[in-house]
Amino acid sequence: MFSQEVKVNAVLDTNKIRIGEQAKIDLYVNYDANQKNIKIEWPSIGDTITQKVEVISISPIDSTLPDKINPGRLLQHQQITISVYDSGMYVIPSFKFILNSDTSKPLLTEPLFLEVHTVPTDTSLAKTKDIKPPFGESFNWKWYLNYIYAGIGLLALLVAVVVITTYYNKKRNQQVIEPEKPKIPPHILALAALEKIKLDEVWKDGKIKEYYSSISDTIRLYIEDRFVLNALESTTDEIMLAFRSQVVDKESKEKLQQLLMLSDLVKFAKQFPIEVEHQFTLQNAFDFVNGTKREEEMDAALFTEEELEKNVQSSLSRKIETTPTQKNSPSYQAPTNSNKNNSKNYRKPYQEKEVSNTKIFIGVVVIVSILIATIFFTTQIVKSAQSGLQSKIFTESINKQCPIMIDQEARLDKVEMLDEKTLCYYYTLVNYSVGDIDASAIENNVRPIMINTVKNSPELQFLREVSGTLQYQYNDKSGNPMLLVSVTSNDYKN
């Protein structure tokens, strides 16, 4: 029944061609498109149809609606370009279409006939003549004139380079080499940089992060030069741990810890200190440098203002580099505290953490940036609390607003009381998967900042009074657990 509804046809655009000319065969299939589960297998055509009928190209199958009155009919068409390179009569056999994989009853087109004839020759023309020999041409030296000019020009250029090089070498040898100026002591550079920060007062323009970053960078550079510590690549806790072995008074250590911790909170947790803290932090930086500077013979007066400015800028913008040859050399040995005075120019080589450092940075910025939001929601719970953390009323008041986008990276999904003294916040990092960040490294960097926030924040005084616990559960964009950070009473009371 289907075969009666499907019609196939093959049409040849011309019956006569000359050798090498092309002809086109159009294949048509006409059937009712409303039929369900109908499958038409077109004939498979290779490079040739018969031994001497070659296929030049085959067009893709296109479909049209041939009858506007009966839109249910569908017409499919394919065009085959052929050519023949020998004269004679050729029969193009029927093309076979298979309907619904039934090979026993194929649909066949009518066979086609093609006549190929040669181009008649003009017998009146004379016989072909022999090939004429090439014309001879006499030698002319002007052919090589351009090459001669180019050779002379190159020779003149070479002589000029030799003369100029010899002249400048002699002149350089006659120059008097001035003795190198002594290196500016670290404390002079640090005090000059802090004085510039004090005069600029960029915090008045709303550049709080830039203000604290410049103070922190200046102190870290000073620590590297003065104490030979890798302060630029160390966290605040690592720096304070290293200072346990340094001969520094307790007051200077406390001032250093205060300015570094506050700078970290401003840079990573988006905290906004008050105006008094701006001046207090800068004064702590001045006091730390003055309290730990090494007594040098040189004074700041020995250097001009331009020299100090130049050295301050170069110090703030420098990048420490260590080549693989130096780092892997058997003779390489890092200086200790006993010989640090003999190695002022020493720079501790970086550890190669290209991938892990990137993951740590992403995680620190994302997780610490939502810490302020966590404190905010905790404060809202405290203000409305009537019977302590265990009450479900407060968590429900927050959960009614969830999910909440804290920033472009993090979403607060819910807040849940796990027991009488444990409050847990569930976050989703909407742009990251489990493999995008290093969870353990992130926790090592983020945890000290969180502990310090719980320890010193006035808003979290209630938590310290009941020895409660805050937990932060971070999931990736697919809902898979990435990191769980808990801040307990043992953390913020020690």
High-pLDDT (> 70) share of the chain, %: 73
- Confirm whether 172 is domain-assigned: no
402 vs 332 pLDDT, higher one: 402
Count the domains in the chain: 3
Among the listed residues 436, 309, 300, 298, the one whose alpha carbon sits nearest the alpha carbon of residue 365: 436
Least confident range from 27-41, 246-260, 328-342: namely: 328-342
- Confirm whether 376 is domain-assigned: yes
CA atoms within 13 A on the CB side of 225: 19
Q: What is the pLDDT of residue 315?
A: 57
- Are 307 and 380 contained in the same domain? no
- Confirm whether 179 is domain-assigned: no
Q: How confident is the model at residue 81 (pLDDT cuts 50, 70, 90)?
A: very high
Domain boundary among 89, 117, 145: 117
- Are 377 and 288 contained in the same domain? no
108 vs 461 pLDDT, higher one: 108
- Are 316 and 361 contained in the same domain? no
Q: What is the pLDDT of residue 386?
A: 41
205 vs 347 pLDDT, higher one: 205
- Confirm whether 141 is domain-assigned: no
- Are 386 and 479 contained in the same domain? yes
Least confident range from 105-119, 272-286, 460-474: namely: 460-474
Q: How many CB atoms lie within 10 A of CB 288?
A: 26
- Are 314 and 265 contained in the same domain? yes
Among the listed residues 320, 293, 106, the one whose alpha carbon sits nearest the alpha carbon of residue 192: 293
pLDDT at 60 over 90: yes
- Confirm whether 151 is domain-assigned: no
Q: What is the pLDDT of residue 342?
A: 36
313-364 pLDDT, tens digit per residue, is 565 555 334 333 333 333 333 333 333 333 333 333 333 344 444 444 455 5
Domain boundary among 320, 343, 377: 320
Q: Which residues form the domain of 281?
A: 186-320
Q: What is the pLDDT of residue 89?
A: 93
362 vs 84 pLDDT, higher one: 84
Written in H, E and C, the secondary structure of 30-50 is: EEECCCCCCCEECCCCCCECC
Angle of helix 186-200 relative to helix 305-317, nearest 10 degrees, comes to 90
Measured CA to CA, the distance from residue 284 to residue 290 in angstroms comes to: 10
- Are 99 and 32 contained in the same domain? yes
Average pLDDT of every residue of the chain: 77
In the sheet that holds 102-108, the strands lie side by side as 40-41, 96-99, 102-108
Least confident range from 249-258, 266-275, 438-447, 453-462: namely: 453-462
Q: What is the pLDDT of residue 326?
A: 34
Q: Which two tokens stand for residue 390?
A: 């265990």
Q: Which two tokens stand for residue 424?
A: 């847990």
Among the listed residues 38, 106, 30, the one whose alpha carbon sits nearest the alpha carbon of residue 63: 30
Q: What is the pLDDT of residue 466?
A: 78
Residues whose CB falls within 8 Å of the CB of residue 80, separated by 6 or more in sequence, listed in order? 24, 25, 26, 27, 45, 49, 55, 57, 58, 59
- Are 316 and 191 contained in the same domain? yes
- Are 223 and 287 contained in the same domain? yes
- Confirm whether 335 is domain-assigned: no
216-237 pLDDT, tens digit per residue, is 999 999 998 888 888 888 899 9
37 vs 259 pLDDT, higher one: 259
User: Residue 42 belongs to a domain with what CATH number?
Assistant: 2.60.40.10
Residues whose CB falls within 8 Å of the CB of residue 117, separated by 6 or more in sequence, listed in order? 16, 18, 19, 87
Q: Pick the most confident of 38-42, 62-66, 359-363.
A: 38-42
Q: How many helices (H) and strands (E) does the chain have?
A: 15, 16
279 vs 375 pLDDT, higher one: 279
- Confirm whether 150 is domain-assigned: no
- Are 301 and 360 contained in the same domain? no
- Are 360 and 316 contained in the same domain? no
Is-contact 367 446, C-beta < 8 A?
yes
Least confident range from 163-177, 285-299, 389-403: namely: 389-403
Q: What is the mean pLDDT of residues 130-137?
A: 84
Q: Pick the most confident of 1-5, 265-269, 327-331.
A: 265-269
- Confirm whether 123 is domain-assigned: no
High-pLDDT (> 90) share of the chain, %: 21
Q: What is the pLDDT of residue 167?
A: 86
Torsion, Cα 220 221 227 228, to 10 degrees, reads 110
Angle of helix 354-369 relative to helix 250-269, nearest 10 degrees, comes to 80
Q: What is the pLDDT of residue 88?
A: 92
Q: How confident is the model at residue 168 (pLDDT cuts 50, 70, 90)?
A: confident
- Are 359 and 488 contained in the same domain? yes
pLDDT at 373 over 70: no
Residues composing the chain: 494
User: Residue 462 belongs to a domain with what CATH number?
Assistant: 3.30.300.250
- Are 207 and 301 contained in the same domain? yes
Q: What is the pLDDT of residue 436?
A: 77
Domain boundary among 66, 100, 117: 117
pLDDT at 312 over 80: no
